[in-house]
Amino acid sequence: MGHLIRKNRDKLILTAGVLVIWWSLTTFLHGASKSEFVSLQRHMNSEVTSSRHVQGSSFDWSRVSFRYPPGSMTVIPMGNPSHTLPAIQAEFSSEGSLAMNLRERRRRKVKDTFTNDWGAYRKYAWMKDALKPLSMGYQDQFSGWAATLVDSLDSLWIMGLREEFDEAVDAVAGIDFGKSTSGRVNTFETNIRYLGGLMAAYDLSKRPVLLTKAVELGNLLYGAFNTENRMPVDFIDFDAAKRGEGLVVEGSVVSASPGTISLEFTRLSQLTGDPKYYDAISHVMDVFYEGQNKTQLPGLWPMMVSMSRQDVISGNQFTLAGCADSLYEYLPKTYALLGGHELKYEVMSIGFMEAAKKLLFRPMIPGGEDILMPSSGWVDENGRVYLDEETEHLACFLGGVYALGGKLFNRGEYVDIGSKLTLGCVYGYQSFPNGMMPERVNMVACKTMDGCKWDTQHFDEEKRKRPEYKEHLPLGFTTAKDPRYILRPETIESVFIMYRVTGSPKWQDLGWEMFTAIENGTKTELGTHAAVEDVTRASKPLPQSDYMESFWLAETLKYFYLLFSPPDIISLNEYVFNTEAHPFSRS
């Protein structure tokens, strides 16, 4: 039987290949559209793989009897079908041959880097969570469900690596979500990397196996809501979840954790027609919606929240970076995914972007460039906001989100803020000797957004207040508390979005400068790429860590690749990216 399946599949592949070649010639001779060619290619690829066997997980999560079942379902709002959102992408004019050749050379270089590191993962860490690029070993830290493989699926598809994609899809078909290498499953990471990766790859390729596995995993994650108040747990007790006996919601979690499920669960309900996923997350977002203007910094939520008490109000610590980042990121993105038919996401989006201005500052720097940096801060008993003037690389997503919000809500001011924030993070790259920005830095804030002249005496006074200050730091930086670069994507993410929103080629040039620095600075002796322990010093070789995060292939290199791709490839008018750079179709 297996022989017959392979034989029939070979015939289909041959037929598909002939048709694709024929269509390519037709395209060349008669000018048929690229979209028609891509459509045929996807159709034939889907036909080739539609008969692949899906190995069901050893446990059926859909059959768990919940101790705390949901009540009446909240369905996805549909609204007026004639309602359309504003275009996000700029209208691009046709490029000349010189510009096209330069762009394609850059794109090929990014692809070469990706295929090299994917090849290393395939050879040394296949079906494991992450590659160890120095020792060529592997590490399982996300339940052992091949995180890098699942996370990279849509990158393989977007880069046209069809054989590698087919092989990876075959491997995905055998992942067992009924077993875990850990007794506790991280809801946040499993949602953004695994569920997001499966659904995006399905949206792009229409391979049925991917949706089947996404539903399996979605049902596992749905178990996180089997709690007394129907709020999700941060970590799923794997065995208890199987028994359906009910889970206990943690007393305090970072706000990003419960706030970063809306996009994936909304898309899963859209794909399956099952409202339970959207229903589950809608109640969580109602809690955030109702508390948004009751916090000590109205419009923003505190860094830590309690889902057990449904308290998103208490606390005076606020941040736009790690612990809260993707909560804010998902507000305009979920609004877009829902076609603008759920107005609470518009209200929350504008509310957060207005309030977040209080956590932005213009740094005092020698050249006086007009840039902005995101900060964290706290609020005193009189409501006064104090900034710590610290920027995390994780906060560099914010420029892109302001740009998206500016287009979605017709607010040009937000696009301008997004541009200055993105340039601020790019400045962070350009300032350090290896062209890479550290994880965490401090700078000196100007008193107003209008800027300030460089003042050496004032800088000296401020740096003396920072025990972490080192004399070798570039002027303008009072600390690099965490000097690492761990292959993070947030800055290139914003650069990519700014390019697609404005159409200005300056963003491509800035991105290429970043890519060259990262590619050179993180390359190992074995040709792979690894996190760097300290990017603040010029000494070579740079100290490296034996670890390659899955987001290097899933996010960082994907955003670089798309920056140098034709703008109709994964258009922002047609797709919305989750926080792990997985594109979900908006149609």
Distance separating alpha carbons of residues 284 and 541, to the nearest angstrom: 48
Give, for 138, the enclosing helix (H) or strand (E).
Answer: strand 137-139
Q: Quick one: tokens of 488?
A: 């993070």
DSSP one-letter string for 334-382: HHHHTTT--HHHHHHHHHHHHHGGGGEE-B--TT-----EE--EEE-TT
Kindly report the three-state secondary structure assignment for every residue of 415-434: HHHHHHHHHHHHHHHHHCCC
φ, ψ of residue 302 in degrees (nearest 5): -65, 160
Catalytic residue among 129, 164, 216, 325: 325
Active site residue 439: yes
Query: Which ranges in 125-244 belong to alpha helices (H)?
Result: 147-151, 153-158, 162-172, 187-189, 196-205, 208-222, 238-243
The HSE-up count of residue 204 (CA atoms within 13 Å, CB side) is: 27
Catalytic residue among 176, 189, 416, 468: 189
The HSE-up count of residue 527 (CA atoms within 13 Å, CB side) is: 10
Helices H / strands E in the chain, number of each: 22, 16
Catalytic residue among 264, 439, 549, 555: 439
Active site residue 164: no
Active site residue 216: no
Active site residue 490: yes
Say which residue the tokens 């979005």 belong to: 497
Catalytic residue among 166, 279, 342, 490: 490
Distances (CA, A) of 554 to 147, 297, 548, 557: 10, 34, 11, 7
The answer to whether 201 touches 578, Cβ cutoff 8 Å, is no
Q: Active-site positions?
A: 189, 325, 439, 490
